[in-house]
């Protein structure tokens, strides 16, 4: 069908018609990445590219015609060369062409693909289409560093005059047709009904899988639900198992959305395992997987498998964790550099860099060292000599000149960005980094090393998830440069080789919503919608969508159990005895013989169960979460089924001792009361079932009568089954009710609290409520109430900065902080008022079972006050344990909050003091860390996923 109008809605030109005719005779498969050859079942798209149409819940499909089917088939073939709006230096892959074709069809797209596969090609095309149509496009990212990097990339592509940047730190050319921003900025625009949305054509949501982030995740859902429906979305995600579910939800709330899943990495990944041999001081480096299965050789490295006696007869392990210096040396010998070496400790990253330098490792030539110094001088020119000294410049530069660096949040942004630049140019060959480097920054390597698969969170050690492992290893292999990337995991006494292999082979990364109503969100819903509509908007969340899916499964299970109950009652009736009579007979028999032998046997077996054991129960498998011992000596076992339902059993609930039919590895940290933990265990159980683990017939252990002897054995058996089924029906019914009402109840509880404090009155915002809608912060209600009670009033800028820092800083070290310092008794009393206010709020939240808001933390007060008062960085950080990077990050967050206070305060003097405080702390290293240069150097030719220069 020839185009009557172009994609912008304008009449088609003759050239476009001719291009459409020519495109019919092109074979879109003629080009592709050499490592991606495969086929699609229909012959048009590869087998490893899944292009699925999500269900549109707002439309009926009865009228779907052959014409629609033909058009969908044509879209699957992808776009032709003439339809591309961006020139690329490489042939597009099929999944990229298919996604662009969906954009041409007027659909939103969700592209889920591995890191480095070229997802941004689809986003680039959407931006170019918006420019061509004279409309706007927003590119959102989860972190400021990624926003800054994307801003520089787009400026180079489209010109600085056509690209803007909006973050908490920068406002550059905000009226440009293309604007890069953090997702929170777009959310704030939507709630403010900004005119910038009027001519918006596309929104790119980069790293959309961030919606599962516990604190920031709800922002993504707010954007997707509340963004004007005419705006199309380009959602870019890591490979997640439930991408079709996410696209189905977006379709339900916004309209047609196509999910395109690409599983193949652009560069093949080889997983390796490395252990140090204590007997020979050599490193063993073996493949983790052989033909997709655990390498049998790997099990010999497990800590408990091989021990030997030393000369004193003590047992010693034969293997140990390799030293960082030895690993770097081995990687250099294997020609595996450059490498990103992940260590989940800032101090350990710095130590590793120093150890390598002290060991004499030099990875650079004289010319490279000269170039490194030139780049470092240019990148740090805005920092004073005294600031550089405080920040450890000399040691940092020494490592860079050897080709070795650290990268973590404790470093100031100019240092981190310099490391990224040098690594991308191939001048730095080894970077010891924390997990922050895996969060979106475009910095690929030939090899990735993960020192440990466990990470200390401050409370416990967490085992890496499949998604985190994929995110880390996604950095391995540079497209267009490497034919193979390596992911090396080091030996640890706390992790078995099987666990390493399972993680390396796992393809499951289920995206879970973290959506929950907040005080600011509730106030904005009251401001924008009628009551019923606000509740409907909550029900449009991905959280409710996923919950409803679970509820549907539970409802089906409930129906099955109810049918079973009817059949069981009919069976009991057919045996010729009323239920009450059978109950009395059973009770009499139990009293007569004590019924203790069976109970003791079952009790003993229950006590032997361990978390992770899989047993058969009520016709289905369940995983043991915990085993509890009561004072009376009885045992209660807590289990989770494949629908994430909780079950508690004791010896009186089952007929004979349960049999362990399998085991699963429980997630870390071990938090069995956490709903996310329970869902993850349920996911593992479903995968176990899919693998068809051999097991006893589940019904076997629960259908045997307690006593088959005597004339009433069969009746007792049926009665036991009836009682168990009734208990399960009651449990499922309660779970369905609680899950269906959880979001709405949370919203109503928050609304009640806001009414109690005078923010909402009969579904109308009061003056206080109008202040709250302008506060976007984790402590939104506390800050708004502090404004309303005048706690911020009458303070000079430095004092106001110190007081506001109580909301932005959170002490996370396991060591207690130093006692806070206050310059006056007045300020001490103000902090005490904030603390009392937080306690008051927590008490109200507890009464309504609302999760408690975070309290205030005055630890950073003295630093914020001193910096706002004009002290030097050396003076402020003297004898303080706060790193330069932490200081800058907290001050930048404080700048953002002070600006919000300045906008929200109805007291002119307070508003002015807040603005002056924000200006006073935006200086020196803080200001240098916020500056974004659109013309920043970029290593040529190192990023083949970027488009070629426009002709």
126 belongs to a structural domain: yes
Q: What is the pLDDT of residue 30?
A: 33
Lowest average pLDDT, out of 115-119, 194-198, 405-409, 453-457, goes to: 453-457
Q: Reply yes or no on whether the pLDDT at 744 is more than 90.
A: no
- Give per-residue pLDDT as tens, 198-209: 999 999 999 888
Q: How many domains does the chain have?
A: 4
Average pLDDT over residues 381-405: 94
Instruction: Give the end-to-end CA distance of the chain in Å, rounded to a whole number.
Output: 30
Lowest average pLDDT, out of 22-36, 315-329, 395-409, goes to: 22-36
Same domain, 164 and 306: no
More reliable by pLDDT, 428 or 64: 428
d(C-alpha 378, C-alpha 367), whole Å: 17
Average pLDDT over residues 335-360: 94
d(C-alpha 880, C-alpha 928), whole Å: 22
Same domain, 163 and 294: no
When pLDDT is cut at 50, 70 and 90, the band that residue 11 belongs to is: very low
242 belongs to a structural domain: yes
d(C-alpha 514, C-alpha 547), whole Å: 11
Same domain, 665 and 801: no
pTM of whole model > 0.75? no
Same domain, 272 and 238: no
Assess contact for 654 and 701: CB atoms under 8 A. yes
Average pLDDT over residues 440-466: 81
Average pLDDT over residues 256-280: 90
Same domain, 53 and 87: yes
Q: What is the pLDDT of residue 739?
A: 65
Domain span at residue 814? 790-930
Helices (H), ranges, 279-337: 324-333
Retrieve residue 922's tokens.
């935006």
Q: What is the pLDDT of residue 440?
A: 58
Same domain, 493 and 628: no
When pLDDT is cut at 50, 70 and 90, the band that residue 143 belongs to is: confident
842 belongs to a structural domain: yes
More reliable by pLDDT, 379 or 708: 379
Q: What is the pLDDT of residue 45?
A: 41
Same domain, 218 and 294: no
Structure-token match 């030293």, residue found: 323
310 belongs to a structural domain: yes
Helices (H), ranges, 159-216: 183-192
CATH number for position 173: 3.40.50.300
Q: What is the pLDDT of residue 364?
A: 95
Lowest average pLDDT, out of 86-95, 390-399, 439-448, goes to: 86-95
129 belongs to a structural domain: yes
Name residue 205's beta-bridge partners: 140, 235
431 belongs to a structural domain: yes
Q: Reply yes or no on whether the pLDDT at 258 is more than 90.
A: yes
Q: What is the pLDDT of residue 657?
A: 66
Percent of the chain with pLDDT over 70: 79
Average pLDDT over residues 709-733: 79
Lowest average pLDDT, out of 99-103, 729-733, 842-846, goes to: 729-733
When pLDDT is cut at 50, 70 and 90, the band that residue 176 belongs to is: very high
Same domain, 811 and 666: no
- Give per-residue pLDDT as tens, 805-858: 999 998 877 677 888 899 999 999 999 999 999 999 999 999 898 989 999 999
d(C-alpha 166, C-alpha 153), whole Å: 15
Q: Reply yes or no on whether the pLDDT at 678 is more than 90.
A: no
- The closest alpha carbon to 889, from 864, 924, 926, belongs to 926
When pLDDT is cut at 50, 70 and 90, the band that residue 633 belongs to is: low
d(C-alpha 155, C-alpha 935), whole Å: 8
- Give per-residue pLDDT as tens, 13-62: 434 433 433 333 333 333 333 333 332 333 344 434 444 444 333 332 33
Q: Rounded to whole angstroms, what are the CA distances from 670 to 460, 498, 587?
A: 8, 19, 41
Assess contact for 514 and 218: CB atoms under 8 A. yes
Q: What is the pLDDT of residue 836?
A: 95
When pLDDT is cut at 50, 70 and 90, the band that residue 632 belongs to is: low
Same domain, 56 and 146: yes
Angle of helix 908-921 relative to helix 884-904, nearest 10 degrees? Answer: 160
Dihedral sign of CA atoms 923, 927, 929, 935 in order: negative
What letter would DSSP give residue 819?
P
Average pLDDT over residues 170-190: 91
Same domain, 207 and 353: no
CATH number for position 839: 1.10.3380.30
Q: What is the pLDDT of residue 168?
A: 74
Q: What is the pLDDT of residue 849?
A: 87
More reliable by pLDDT, 246 or 816: 246
Q: What is the pLDDT of residue 339?
A: 96
Segment holding 376, helix H or strand E: helix 366-379
Which of 705, 733, 763 terminates a domain? The answer is 705
Assess contact for 297 and 286: CB atoms under 8 A. yes
Q: What is the pLDDT of residue 510?
A: 83
Which of 660, 684, 705 terminates a domain? The answer is 705
Same domain, 59 and 126: yes
- Give per-residue pLDDT as tens, 567-620: 888 888 888 777 777 776 776 666 555 554 555 567 777 777 888 888 876 567
Per-residue burial over 562-590, b if 16 or more Cβ lie within 10 Å, else e, is eebbeebeeebeeeebeeeebbebbeebe
When pLDDT is cut at 50, 70 and 90, the band that residue 662 belongs to is: confident
560 belongs to a structural domain: no
- Give per-residue pLDDT as tens, 532-566: 888 878 878 888 888 776 665 676 678 788 888 89
Average pLDDT over residues 511-532: 91
798 belongs to a structural domain: yes
Same domain, 346 and 250: no
Q: Which residue pairs from 390-398 have beta carbons closer than 8 angstroms and sit at least 24 positions apart in sequence?
A: 390/873, 390/874, 390/877, 390/884, 391/415, 391/873, 391/884, 391/925, 392/884, 395/354, 397/373, 398/357
Q: Reply yes or no on whether the pLDDT at 393 is more than 70.
A: yes
d(C-alpha 480, C-alpha 181), whole Å: 29
Lowest average pLDDT, out of 728-732, 888-892, 918-922, goes to: 728-732
Which of 487, 505, 523 terminates a domain? The answer is 505
Retrieve residue 139's tokens.
């590119």
Segment holding 475, helix H or strand E: none
């Amino acid at each position: 069908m020839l185009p009557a109008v172009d994609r912008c809605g304008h009449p088609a030109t003759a050239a476009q018609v001719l291009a459409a005719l020519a495109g019919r005779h092109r074979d879109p498969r003629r080009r592709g990445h050499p490592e991606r050859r495969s086929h699609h079942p229909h012959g048009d798209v590869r087998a490893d590219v899944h292009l699925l149409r999500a269900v549109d819940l707002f439309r009926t499909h009865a009228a779907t015609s052959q014409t629609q089917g033909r058009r969908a088939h044509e879209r699957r073939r992808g776009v032709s060369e003439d339809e591309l709006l961006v020139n690329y230096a490489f042939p597009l892959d099929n999944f990229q062409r298919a996604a662009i074709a969906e954009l041409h069809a007027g659909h939103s797209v969700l592209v889920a693909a591995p890191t480095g596969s070229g997802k941004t090609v689809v986003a680039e095309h959407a931006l170019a289409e918006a420019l061509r149509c004279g409309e706007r496009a927003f590119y959102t990212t989860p972190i400021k560093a990624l926003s800054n990097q994307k801003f520089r990339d787009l400026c180079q592509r489209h010109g600085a005059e056509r690209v803007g940047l909006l973050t908490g730190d920068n406002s550059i050319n905000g009226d440009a047709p293309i604007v890069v921003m953090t997702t929170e900025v777009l959310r704030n625009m939507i709630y403010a009904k900004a005119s910038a949305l009027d001519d918006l054509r596309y929104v790119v949501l980069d790293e959309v899988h961030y919606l599962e982030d516990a604190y920031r995740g709800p922002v993504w859902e707010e954007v997707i639900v509340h963004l004007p429906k005419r705006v199309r979305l380009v959602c870019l995600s890591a490979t997640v198992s439930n991408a079709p579910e996410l696209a189905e939800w977006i379709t339900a709330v916004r309209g047609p959305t196509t999910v395109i899943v690409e599983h193949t990495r652009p560069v093949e990944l080889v997983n390796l395992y490395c252990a140090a041999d204590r007997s020979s001081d050599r490193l063993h480096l073996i493949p983790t997987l052989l033909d997709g299965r655990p390498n049998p050789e790997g099990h010999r490295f497990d800590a408990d498998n091989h021990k030997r006696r030393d000369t004193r007869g003590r047992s010693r392990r034969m293997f140990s964790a390799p030293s960082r210096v030895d690993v770097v040396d081995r990687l250099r010998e294997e020609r595996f550099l450059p490498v990103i070496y992940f260590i989940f400790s800032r101090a350990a990253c710095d130590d590793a860099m120093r150890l390598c330098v002290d060991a004499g490792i030099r990875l650079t030539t004289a010319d490279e060292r000269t170039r490194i110094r030139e780049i470092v001088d240019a990148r740090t020119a805005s920092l004073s000599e005294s600031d550089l000294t405080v920040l450890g410049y000399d040691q940092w530069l020494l490592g860079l000149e050897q080709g070795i660096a650290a990268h973590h949040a404790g470093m100031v942004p100019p240092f981190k960005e310099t490391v990224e630049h040098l690594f991308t140019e191939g001048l730095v060959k080894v970077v010891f980094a924390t997990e922050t480097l895996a969060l979106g920054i475009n910095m690929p390597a030939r090899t990735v090393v993960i020192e440990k698969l466990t990470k200390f969170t401050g409370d416990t050690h967490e085992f890496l998830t499949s998604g985190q492992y994929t995110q880390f290893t996604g950095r391995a292999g540079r497209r267009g440069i490497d034919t193979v990337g390596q992911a090396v995991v080091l030996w640890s006494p706390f992790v078995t080789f099987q666990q390493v292999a399972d993680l390396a082979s796992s393809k499951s990364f289920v995206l879970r919503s973290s959506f929950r109503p907040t005080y600011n969100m509730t106030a904005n819903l009251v401001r924008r919608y009628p009551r019923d509509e606000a509740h409907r908007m909550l029900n449009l969340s991905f959280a409710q969508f996923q919950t409803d899916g679970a509820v549907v499964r539970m409802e089906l299970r409930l129906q099955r159990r109810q049918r079973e109950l009817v059949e069981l009652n009919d069976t009991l009736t057919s045996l010729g005895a009323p239920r009450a009579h059978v109950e009395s007979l059973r009770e009499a028999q139990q009293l007569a013989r004590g019924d203790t032998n069976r109970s003791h046997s079952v009790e003993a077996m229950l006590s032997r169960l361990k978390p992770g054991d899989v047993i058969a129960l009520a016709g289905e498998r369940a995983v043991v979460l915990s085993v509890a011992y009561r004072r009376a000596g009885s045992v209660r076992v807590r289990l989770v089924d494949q629908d994430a339902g909780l079950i508690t059993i004791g010896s009186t609930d089952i007929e004979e001792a349960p049999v362990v039919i399998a085991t699963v590895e429980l997630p870390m940290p071990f938090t069995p009361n956490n709903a996310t933990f329970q869902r993850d265990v349920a996911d593992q159980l479903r995968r176990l079932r899919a693998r068809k683990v051999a097991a006893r017939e589940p019904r076997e252990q629960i259908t045997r009568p307690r006593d088959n002897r005597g004339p009433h054995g069969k009746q007792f058996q049926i009665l036991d089954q009836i009682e168990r089924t009734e208990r399960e029906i009651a449990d499922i019914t309660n779970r369905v009710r609680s899950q269906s009402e959880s979001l709405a109840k949370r919203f109503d509880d928050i609304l009640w609290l806001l009414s109690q404090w005078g923010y909402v009155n009969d579904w109308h915002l009061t003056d206080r409520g109008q202040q709250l809608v302008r506060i976007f912060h984790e402590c939104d209600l506390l800050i708004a109430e502090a404004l309303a009670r005048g706690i911020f009033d009458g303070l000079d800028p430095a004092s106001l900065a110190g007081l506001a820092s109580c909301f932005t800083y959170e002490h996370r070290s396991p060591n207690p902080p130093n006692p806070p310092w206050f310059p006056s008794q007045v300020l001490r009393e103000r902090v005490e008022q904030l603390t009392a206010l937080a306690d008051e709020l927590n008490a109200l939240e507890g009464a309504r079972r609302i999760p408690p808001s975070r309290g205030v933390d005055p630890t950073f007060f003295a630093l914020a006050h001193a910096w706002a008062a004009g002290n030097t960085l050396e003076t402020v950080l003297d004898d303080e344990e706060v790193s330069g990077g932490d200081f800058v990050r907290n001050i930048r967050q404080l700048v953002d909050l002070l600006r919000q206070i300045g906008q929200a305060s109805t007291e002119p003097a307070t508003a002015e003091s807040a603005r002056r405080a924000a200006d006073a702390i935006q200086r020196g290293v803080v200001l240098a860390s916020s500056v974004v240069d659109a013309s920043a150097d970029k290593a040529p030719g190192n990023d083949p996923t970027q488009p070629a220069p426009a002709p």
